[in-house]
Amino acid sequence: MPIPTRLTELLDIKHPVLLAPMGSISGGALAGAVSAAGGLGLIGGGYGDGEWLERQFAAAGNHRIGCGFITWSLQKRPELLDLALASRPAALMLSFGDPRPFAGAIKRAGARLICQVQGLRHLEDALEAGADVIIAQGSEAGGHGARRATLPLVPEIADILARRRSDAVLVAAGGIADGRGLAAALLLGAEGVLVGTRFYASTESLAHPKAKAHMTVAQGDDTLRTTTIDVVRDIPWPTDFTVRVLRNEFVDRWHGAETELRAAQAQEMARYQAAVALGDFTTAGVLGGEAMGLFDTVLPAGEILDRMVEEAERALAAGARRIVAAE
Distances in Å between the alpha carbon of 240 and those of 111, 230, 278, 297?
A: 28, 13, 31, 33
Residue 163 covered by a domain: yes
42, β-bridge pairs: 66
What SS3 state is found at 94? strand
Total of domains in the chain:
2
Contacts of 307 (CB under 8 A, 6+ apart): 178, 179, 299
Q: Please, which pLDDT band fits residue 317 given cuts at 50, 70 and 90?
A: confident
**pLDDT in the model for residue 321:** 67
pLDDT in tens, 112-143: 999 999 999 999 999 999 999 999 999 999 99
Q: Please, which pLDDT band fits residue 2 given cuts at 50, 70 and 90?
A: confident
Q: Are residues 63 and 184 in the same domain?
A: yes
Residue 183 covered by a domain: yes
pLDDT in tens, 147-158: 999 999 999 999
**pLDDT in the model for residue 81:** 97
Distance CA 23, CA 5 (A): 28
Q: Are residues 252 and 313 in the same domain?
A: no
Q: Please, which pLDDT band fits residue 38 given cuts at 50, 70 and 90?
A: very high
- pLDDT for residue 327 is more than 70: no
Average pLDDT, stretch 15-28?
97
Q: Are residues 46 and 114 in the same domain?
A: yes
Residue 260 covered by a domain: yes
Distance CA 105, CA 113 (A): 10
CATH code for position 89: 3.20.20.70
Residue 215 covered by a domain: yes
Distance CA 191, CA 310 (A): 16
**Category of 47 on φ-ψ map: left (φ > 0), alpha (ψ -120 to 50) or beta:** alpha
Q: Are residues 222 and 115 in the same domain?
A: no
Residue 282 covered by a domain: yes
Q: Are residues 36 and 103 in the same domain?
A: yes
Residue 146 covered by a domain: yes
Task: Give the up-direction half-sphere exposure of residue 206: CA atoms within 13 A in the CB hemisphere.
Answer: 18
Residue 1 covered by a domain: no
Domain membership of residue 271 as a residue range: 209-290
**pLDDT in the model for residue 71:** 97
Q: Are residues 154 and 81 in the same domain?
A: yes
- Average pLDDT of the chain, as a whole number: 95
Q: Are residues 115 and 192 in the same domain?
A: yes
pLDDT in tens, 158-213: 999 999 999 999 999 999 999 999 999 999 999 999 999 999 999 999 999 999 99
Q: Are residues 176 and 153 in the same domain?
A: yes
Q: Are residues 202 and 284 in the same domain?
A: no
**pLDDT in the model for residue 322:** 66
Q: Are residues 138 and 267 in the same domain?
A: no
Q: Are residues 47 and 190 in the same domain?
A: yes
Q: Are residues 133 and 181 in the same domain?
A: yes
Residue 65 covered by a domain: yes
- pLDDT for residue 320 is more than 70: no
Under a CB-based contact definition with an 8 Å cutoff, are residues 17 and 195 in contact?
yes
pLDDT in tens, 283-316: 999 999 999 999 999 999 999 999 999 999 999 9
Average pLDDT, stretch 270-295?
96
**pLDDT in the model for residue 48:** 87
pLDDT in tens, 73-115: 999 999 999 999 999 999 999 999 999 999 999 999 999 999 9
- pLDDT for residue 326 is more than 60: no
